[in-house]
Amino acid sequence: MNKPAPFAAFDIDGTIIRWQLFHAIGDAMAKQEIISTDDYQQVRDARMKWKTRSFDDAFHDYEQVLINVFDKGLKGMPIEEFDALVDGVFEIYHEQVYTYTRDLITQLKQQGYILFAVSGSPHMIVQKFAERYGFDDYAATKYLSENGTYTAEKDISLGKKSELLKNLISKHNASYTQSMAIGDTEGDIAMLEMVEQPIAFNPSKKFFQHAQQQGWKVIVERKNMIYELEASDGSYRLV
């Protein structure tokens, strides 16, 4: 019997891709007037508060506004029409990725790891992304449809990443030995706590503080430089 292979779990938005797939789809929906001008202005206002770092949780608030507007616009939209929009977003963004995580994917595949993508973005684009980068499986927010159009229902993956990852591990009979997970926000903490090799990549403030308490490796990619920080006596040193 073959020995079970180790797994590596990757968040996508802000970890592999340099932007957010979900947000890019929202922008495309606004350009096609699927999202109304008034609703999209709410998104723009919330995004500017985040960009100007008006307060610590500005990104969370912006994301919640976008989710509400996105769900409203998607309801009743024909599947074929949305799929075409997703194809356009994917073509623009699928190569706009971080060097560190792109190369790590290649390295781990060569080492025989089973690769999982675990994302809060819509399953329609996460599937395309997972196939493009050779992931073995994925989990994402599932949007439900009926009679050829999307309903207001969804099976959201946010807050459930550890549960979804456990399902993928069981499905593929993957090994926890030498397992790895990488993410960029506190929403990825539960997933990283499951593995032997957690990596906090370009972490948010709260995520960094948790990573520091746990002594996790921290990677920062800025412009064309990659900085690896290794825990040492409660602080970090540059490797």
Question: What CATH number is associated with residue 86?
Answer: 3.40.50.1000
- Read off the pLDDT band of 56 (50, 70, 90): confident
Round the average pLDDT of the chain to a whole number and report it: 92
Measured at the CA of 138, the angle between CA 84 and CA 29, to 5 degrees, comes to 25
In percent, the amount of the chain with pLDDT more than 70 equals 98
DSSP run (H or E) holding 96: none
Domain assignment of residue 199, given as a range: 6-238
- Read off the pLDDT band of 231 (50, 70, 90): confident
Model's pTM, two decimal places? 0.91
Residue 63: per-residue pLDDT: 87
Q: What is the mean pLDDT of residues 198-206?
A: 95
Amino acid at 62: Y
Q: Could you tell me if residue 227 is inside a domain?
A: yes
Q: Which residues pair with 143 in a beta bridge?
A: 154
The pLDDT of residue 153 is above 90: no
Residue 225: per-residue pLDDT: 95
- The neighbour count for residue 72, using CB atoms within 10 Å, is 14
Q: What is the mean pLDDT of residues 78-91?
A: 94
Q: Could you tell me if residue 210 is inside a domain?
A: yes
Residue 27: per-residue pLDDT: 92
- Read off the pLDDT band of 158 (50, 70, 90): low
Cβ-proximal residues to 41 (8 Å cutoff; 6+ apart), any chain: none
Torsion sign (Cα): 192, 197, 203, 209? positive
224: phi then psi, degrees, rounded to nearest 5: -105, 30
Q: What is the mean pLDDT of residues 24-38?
A: 92
Q: Could you tell me if residue 180 is inside a domain?
A: yes
Q: Could you tell me if residue 162 is inside a domain?
A: yes
The pLDDT of residue 1 is above 60: no
Q: Could you tell me if residue 1 is inside a domain?
A: no
- Read off the pLDDT band of 199 (50, 70, 90): very high
Q: What is the mean pLDDT of residues 81-87?
A: 93
Q: What is the mean pLDDT of residues 92-116?
A: 96
- Read off the pLDDT band of 159 (50, 70, 90): low
Q: Which residue, among 169, 164, 105, 130, has the nearest Cα to 21 in the 3D structure?
A: 130
Q: For residue range 117-129, what is the model confidence (pLDDT) as tens digits?
A: 999 888 999 999 9
β-pairing verdict for 137-146 and 149-155: antiparallel
The pLDDT of residue 192 is above 80: yes
Torsion sign (Cα): 216, 221, 222, 227? positive
Q: Could you tell me if residue 32 is inside a domain?
A: yes
Q: Could you tell me if residue 163 is inside a domain?
A: yes
- Residue 41 near residue 48, CB atoms below 8 Å: no
Q: Which residue, among 204, 201, 198, 161, has the nearest Cα to 181 in the 3D structure?
A: 198
B/e letters for 111-132, b = 16+ CB within 10 Å, e = fewer, are eebbbbbbbbbbbbbbbbbbee
Domain count, the chain: 1
Q: Could you tell me if residue 100 is inside a domain?
A: yes
The pLDDT of residue 216 is above 60: yes
The pLDDT of residue 108 is above 70: yes
Task: Work out the burial of residue 101: count CB atoms within 10 Å of its CB; fewer than 13 is exposed, 13-18 middle, 19 or more buried.
Answer: buried
- Read off the pLDDT band of 167 (50, 70, 90): very high
DSSP run (H or E) holding 20: none
Beta-strand runs (E) in the chain: 6-10, 114-122, 137-146, 149-155, 175-183, 197-201, 217-222, 225-232, 235-238
